[in-house]
Amino acid sequence: MSHNVYYVKLRTRIRRYYTSLLLPAGYRVTIDYAEVERLADYRRLFHLRTMQTDLIERLMIERDFYRDNCHRQARFGLMVNGLFG
């Protein structure tokens, strides 16, 4: 192995260690520091996603209620028109 190839491999390995969080022995996982910095954003986005899901569900329930109520009033209006029309 030439000296340059060894140097490039060593430099790549060192760069990887400086950009990653190494876990204790026994775990074969490294975590990028950029991911650690984004943890707060991930938590915030998870909270926003659950709030948005709840809002969508509530809007769908209200939509179904008002649709059924509108059909019921239309049928009642037709019945009243049939009686007095």
Q: Taking a C-beta distance cutoff of 8 angstroms, is the pair 23, 35 a contact?
A: no
Q: What is the pTM of this model?
A: 0.52
User: What are the residues whose beta carbons fall under 8 Å from the beta carbon of 33, sequence distance 6 or more?
Assistant: 19, 20, 21
- Rounded-to-integer distance, Cα 52 and Cα 60, Å: 12
Per residue of the chain (85 residues), give pLDDT as tens: 455 555 455 455 545 556 666 666 666 777 777 888 888 899 999 999 999 999 999 999 999 999 999 988 888 888 888 888 6
